[in-house]
Structure 1
């Protein structure tokens, strides 16, 4: 890695203060994704689902009704608290929450019929975690790698969409040009997951694409979406958070005086490894 390449190592502050913003700001995965997974995995109300890096339960709460037992694992206690709160609101009672880093698996957890990694694998020691998860998967089970972005859409020229480029410029003015991640900076994008999974003994992938879908959100939801991100987590702004939020809201209202935005979310890719 070049000497000037940003480096990062995990620390507990990665998503500090972000959990409460997820349910408000992140766009929920669409029913079509759930239908695709239930069909592809033949989910019939049996077996164990393990969601690694579950966050506030964005995926596991959608799939829990289709398995016997679901286990959500995350290193952030606030994420797990939010996930449990949402499970209670939805009447979902077959989920167990465990505060663990993925690298600490398998711990005492049982083999899983389905393992999910949704927007989380890039934060982990990927070769190590892939190897661990391979040992935790039942012989006929599947690991699902979910590639998605649920905070913003794919409409750079759409006048109805939030002004994401301007929002990112505002964040950079407060936090600097390199995207933050906990106490360090965000690592560069990595796209060699296929090689890592194969080296761990997985076969595949079977890829499924869920088409993009149109959503509408207001100013509060866009602010929450931004603060749900590691590189704009509330704690990063320190005592300037109130000033930042005031500027952000003014920017959004200036872009859409009625306070409403509409955008098309990017397609979701589901890679199934066996």
Structure 2
């Protein structure tokens, strides 16, 4: 499986604005676990608009932020400029060409939802060749399906989405593939077999408009896929959400699992 650089075309702005940030506890854990002191070189592989890279930049010497989608990188550059962050190297590239990216020896590699789209075994093999002996690989995910209960509003969103885009979750020119084995099983048979999984839970409350924006950030419901039906989709979703909860406040408990792997 390889990343489709077009999967999020037209969703970049919504991705940068409406996807939740990771909890502060995650960065505290990484700082402690890898003694981050401003001297390390880090790779954020499949960085999107820099959700992780922007937070790590203040903890390390350099971050190389790599993504196949030029639009995501542009959003990241804009955010970095707004925040006065200058030690991120934004680079267009694919996990399949990892060894050609001219990377420095890496002390830490972070992959979030991007790992789902990669050739998971090959990328770990390649990372073993560009990381220091003490380096860590960190994969951030929501955990296996069913790890946390879906919020009550999720079926409301799914019903409206299915009415416009069908029941299958599309992703770019294909469908959203579910992994055949857990990330932990995959990583334990890689060059980084020592694995620790640390969960973080955070409660996020969104407004109606924020929840609609979140849907437009997904690879399976991008503005491009909705096309000229986008305005009607937003209106129907707004109406359905407010019928479900007229307060316009929608709560979700988000589980982030940090899979930390070392040699």
Q: What TM-score do you get using the length of structure 1 for normalisation?
A: 0.88
In 2, distance between residues paired with 1:187 and 1:154? Answer: 20
Q: Give 1:228 deviation, angstroms.
A: 1.0
Matched, 1:12 2:1: no
Residue aligning to 1:190? 180
Residue aligning to 2:169? 179
Q: Deviations over 1:137-188 (max 9, x none)?
A: 1111111111238xxx9554xxxx6611111111111111111011111112
Q: Give 1:272 deviation, angstroms.
A: 1.2
1:208 pairs with 189, 198, 208, which one? Answer: 198
Q: How does 1:209-224 map to 2 (within 5 A)?
A: 209-210=199-200, 212-224=201-213
1:110 pairs with 97, 101, 104, which one? Answer: 104
Kept in 2, the 8 Å contact 1:46–1:67? The answer is yes
Residue aligning to 2:125? 131
CA RMSD of aligned residues (A): 1.9
Extract unaligned runs of 5+ from structure 1.
Answer: 1-7
Matched, 1:96 2:92: no
Residue aligning to 1:240? 229
- 1:183/1:80 CA distance change after superposition, 3 Å: same
Residue aligning to 1:81? 74
Kept in 2, the 8 Å contact 1:162–1:252? The answer is no
In 1, distance between residues paired with 2:51 and 2:4? Answer: 22
Residue aligning to 2:21? 28
Q: What TM-score do you get using the length of structure 2 for normalisation?
A: 0.91
Q: Give 1:77 deviation, angstroms.
A: 0.7
Residue aligning to 1:45? 38
Residue aligning to 1:251? 240
In 2, distance between residues paired with 1:9 and 1:146? Answer: 18
Moved more, 246-255 or 110-119: 246-255
In 1, distance between residues paired with 2:180 and 2:33? Answer: 27
Kept in 1, the 8 Å contact 2:37–2:59? The answer is yes
Aligned pairs, number: 258
Q: Give 1:64 deviation, angstroms.
A: 1.2
In 1, distance between residues paired with 2:253 and 2:188? Answer: 33
